[in-house]
Amino acid sequence: RVDAQAAAGPAQQELNGDLLYQLLAGEFAGSRGDMDTAAQFYVEAAGNTDDPKVAARAAHIALFAEHYEEALDAIDRWQDLSPDASDEIARVRVLAMLHLGEVDAAVEQLAPMLLQEGKLNDTAISALSHILQKEADPEVAVSVLRKLDAMYPQRPRLMLLRARYEVNASQLDVAQGLVDGVIAIQPETSDAWLIKAQILAAQQNEDAAIEAVSKAVGLRSDDDQLRLQYARMLVQRKDYTHAWQQ
């Protein structure tokens, strides 16, 4: 989410008439923690000046206040006034779209952000995971990931991220198909085996779940916490010999 201090901070622009009043009122409201009123005045101010800093501030304040429609108005104004800031604007627009549940519009903004020299960027996918976790309802997040997965098929990191959300959506068969696909492409992906184990456990297939965890342990032999988890599973099955080896 947008930082409160950054959202309520002063912007530099020409100060006159209604604009001066709107900015001062917005600043005073923000300093009191009344972000609803701050957003109202700043969005109005953005329409009364050609300073892109005011529009940018208005967009951030409106986002922080959870006034997403008003945020889009400010973002559109910001785009008109500062087309060179398109990358930053796109990132802010995505947040508003996600909160509004505008899946297609969010995907349109997100898709090019994931690419570097025409290829999916692992760092960008990690950032996507963070954004979806913080900014999107689970139903919106899984819908976004389904569309991105269709646009960029057979990309293991994206498939794995989608699989996690499919599990949370109780779409276990879909999730299993995704992790099996990842394992077929990159069998050394330990997270795929762990998600597979989670799916199998949910399907009451305990033997196969433990086998999947065993695969993950073999790939992450230095992960003491994972080995301890595996040992506990073995103890529950009274397999003390193998548990002790962990």
Count CB-CB contacts under 10 A for residue 55: 30
For residue 162, the model assigns a pLDDT of 97
How far apart are the C-alpha atoms of 192 and 171, rounded to whole Å? 16
Count CB-CB contacts under 10 A for residue 214: 17
Q: What's the pLDDT tens digit per position in 142-181? A: 999 999 999 999 999 999 999 999 999 999 999 999 999 9
- 94-98, 113-117, 134-138: the lowest-pLDDT one: 113-117
Encoded tokens for 244: 């002790």
How far apart are the C-alpha atoms of 15 and 30, rounded to whole Å? 18
H or E stretch covering 166: helix 156-168
Q: Is a pLDDT exceeding 90 seen at residue 213?
A: no
Q: For 138, what's the count of Cα atoms within 13 Å in the CB-facing half-sphere?
A: 9
pLDDT band, residue 217 (cuts 50/70/90): confident
For residue 11, the model assigns a pLDDT of 45
* More confident call, 241 vs 174: 174
pLDDT band, residue 118 (cuts 50/70/90): confident
Write down the number of H helices and E strands in the chain: 15, 2
For residue 9, the model assigns a pLDDT of 46
Encoded tokens for 123: 């760092």
For residue 224, the model assigns a pLDDT of 62
How far apart are the C-alpha atoms of 37 and 29, rounded to whole Å? 6
Q: Is a pLDDT exceeding 50 seen at residue 72?
A: yes
Do 39 and 67 touch, CB atoms closer than 8 A? yes
Measuring CA to CA, which residue among 167, 214, 212, 220 is closest to residue 193?
A: 212
Mean pLDDT of 226-231: 66
Q: Is a pLDDT exceeding 80 seen at residue 76?
A: yes
Contacts of 120 (CB under 8 A, 6+ apart): 114, 152, 155, 157, 158
